[in-house]
Amino acid sequence: MTNLRDKVALVTGASSGIGEATAVALAREGAAVVIAARRVERLRALEERLAGDGARVLSIALDVTDEAACRDAVARTVEVFGGLDVLVNNAGVMLLGPVEGADTTDWTRMVSTNLLGVLFLTHAALPHLVARKGSVVQVSSTAGRVARAGTAVYNATKFGVNAFSEALRQEVTQRGVRVVVVEPGVVETELREHITNQAAKEDITARARAMRQLQAEDVAAAVCYAVTQPDHVSVNEILVRPTDQPW
């Protein structure tokens, strides 16, 4: 196992859920962590908590749909901590609902955040990851592996992330960059609270509450597993569902 003591990680969507838990876990492994999201007050609280535990931490206000802001976030990370070893593309929205009659602004938000945001950040980070033989971790989803009625555009974004990541892996793996796709099933976070279609929101909430859901820390542990492997080991894909989730 490789410890993360000399490593620098940038985690998007670190203001809640899986991103927050991942930042905590990476800091615990010794990494300097840059935590990015739009809700700066939540980032500040996390920054204080991590710094109080002795971690090197920096919070950055970031909307991943803004390409210039993504470039700036990577540049600031390198300026403050001297490089970038682990990019965790975690920021995302899941605005479920059927295609027919959908509010297409939900689609724009999902494509811009879940797909374009990942592309912008990966593009900005890649020269630094190549220089340090680093890793890029995409928090995709079981929805990136299995499409279902009622989740078409969310599926499209996560399938897109998976396709992009496999092509990227082939481009950079021989230069030592590891590309990791983590695909969680249902995780107990605030993600579904933002769904605008009431019927879709009630349906996924009821199905989630009927099972023992994954916790954000379970997914953070999967990320940590992947990024603490020896240099010659590339963990390309981790699909992790709650035991109670059959789909």
The residue ranges that bind ligand NDP (CB under 6 A) are 12-13, 15-19, 37-39, 62-65, 90-94, 113, 139, 141, 184, 186-187, 189-191, 216
CB 38 within 8 A of CB 65: no
Cβ proximity to ligand NDP, 135 vs 151, nearer residue: 151
In the complex, what is the shortest distance from the CB of residue 176 to ligand NDP, in angstroms, rounded to a whole number? 26
CB 91 within 8 A of CB 13: yes
3-state SS assignment for residue 185: coil
Which residue type is seen at 160? G
Burial class for 247, CB neighbours closer than 10 Å (0-12, 13-18, 19+)? exposed
In the complex, what is the shortest distance from the CB of residue 12 to ligand NDP, in angstroms, rounded to a whole number? 6
Q: How far apart are alpha carbons 31 and 51 in whole angstroms? A: 12
In the complex, what is the shortest distance from the CB of residue 5 to ligand NDP, in angstroms, rounded to a whole number? 26
| Angstrom distances, CA of residue 236 to CA of 24, 56, 140, 224, 233 | 22, 28, 12, 13, 9
Cβ proximity to ligand NDP, 69 vs 126, nearer residue: 69
Cβ proximity to ligand NDP, 38 vs 49, nearer residue: 38
Cβ proximity to ligand NDP, 124 vs 216, nearer residue: 216
Question: In the annotation, is 225 catalytic?
Answer: no
Catalytic residue of the set 81, 107, 154, 159: 154
Q: Following CA atoms 125, 96, 206, 19 in sequence, which dihedral angle do they give, to the nearest 10 degrees?
A: 10
Beta bridge pairs of residue 207? none
In the complex, what is the shortest distance from the CB of residue 139 to ligand NDP, in angstroms, rounded to a whole number? 4
In the complex, what is the shortest distance from the CB of residue 152 to ligand NDP, in angstroms, rounded to a whole number? 15
Q: Which helix (H) or strand (E) segment is 114 a member of?
A: none
3-state SS assignment for residue 182: strand
Active site residues: 154
